[in-house]
């Protein structure tokens, strides 16, 4: 019984830690067309640096959504630093998403073509690194460890199923998966 309690509280803690990054990562689907961050430029291998799927508008949504979730936390727990935590999470997730696209282009994977695992977890790696390096953790009393990261990675497919179904019901997506 105690073990189950411990696991559930670890999952809850992980959701609290990563919800700002996850919300930020999901936000850009609202974008249909924008200005590519790589300005249509190509890397030395002749392929696009990031591709048309990474836009300034998308970058803005990462930051807005991350900060918005952080602001909601701030209201609930009365700690102003959560706004900063949300902002940092959004920036980290965005950098991770860009790194993921950069890697995909270098591997010759077209914009929008699936790269299983990389597509789902790229943002979490960099969000974790940026949050840790920023030193914000102690101000919000959240401390990310390897268990949180692993649980986060494992939860992502489940959350994807739920949000994709939601986006389908809201007619943002054509298929429910």
Q: Which residues bind ligand CTP (CB under 6 A)?
A: 28-29, 31, 34, 51, 53-55, 57-59, 97, 101, 104, 111-112
Is the Cβ of residue 112 or residue 135 nearer to ligand CTP in the bound state?
112
C-beta atoms surrounding 167 within 10 Å: 17
Of the candidates 144, 139, 135, the one whose C-alpha atom is nearest the C-alpha of residue 83 is 139
Of the candidates 143, 149, 57, the one whose C-alpha atom is nearest the C-alpha of residue 94 is 57
Sign of the torsion formed by the C-alpha atoms of 105, 109, 111 and 112: negative
Q: How far is the CB of 150 from ligand CTP (least distance, A)?
A: 22
Q: How far is the CB of 82 from ligand CTP (least distance, A)?
A: 23
Is the Cβ of residue 13 or residue 52 nearer to ligand CTP in the bound state?
52
Whether 122 and 96 have beta carbons less than 8 Å apart is answered as yes
User: CB nearest ligand CTP: which residue?
Assistant: 58
Q: How far is the CB of 101 from ligand CTP (least distance, A)?
A: 4
Is the Cβ of residue 50 or residue 149 nearer to ligand CTP in the bound state?
50
Is the Cβ of residue 57 or residue 137 nearer to ligand CTP in the bound state?
57
- The values of phi and psi at residue 115, to 5°, are -130, 85
């Amino acid at each position: 019984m105690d073990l189950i309690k411990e696991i559930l509280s670890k999952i809850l803690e992980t959701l609290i830690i990563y919800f700002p990054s996850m919300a930020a990562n999901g936000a850009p689907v609202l974008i249909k067309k924008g200005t590519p961050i790589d300005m249509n430029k190509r890397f030395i291998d002749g392929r696009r640096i990031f591709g048309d799927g990474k836009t300034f508008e998308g970058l803005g949504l990462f930051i807005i959504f991350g900060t918005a979730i952080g602001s909601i936390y701030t209201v609930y727990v009365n700690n102003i630093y959560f706004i900063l935590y949300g902002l940092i999470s959004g920036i980290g997730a965005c950098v991770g998403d860009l790194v993921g696209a950069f890697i995909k282009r270098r591997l010759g994977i077209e914009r929008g073509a699936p790269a299983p695992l990389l597509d789902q977890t790229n943002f979490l790696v960099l969000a974790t690194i940026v949050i840790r390096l920023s030193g914000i953790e102690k101000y919000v009393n959240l401390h990310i460890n390897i268990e949180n990261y692993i649980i986060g990675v494992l939860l992502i497919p489940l959350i994807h199923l739920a949000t994709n179904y939601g986006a389908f019901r809201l007619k943002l997506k054509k298929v429910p998966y």
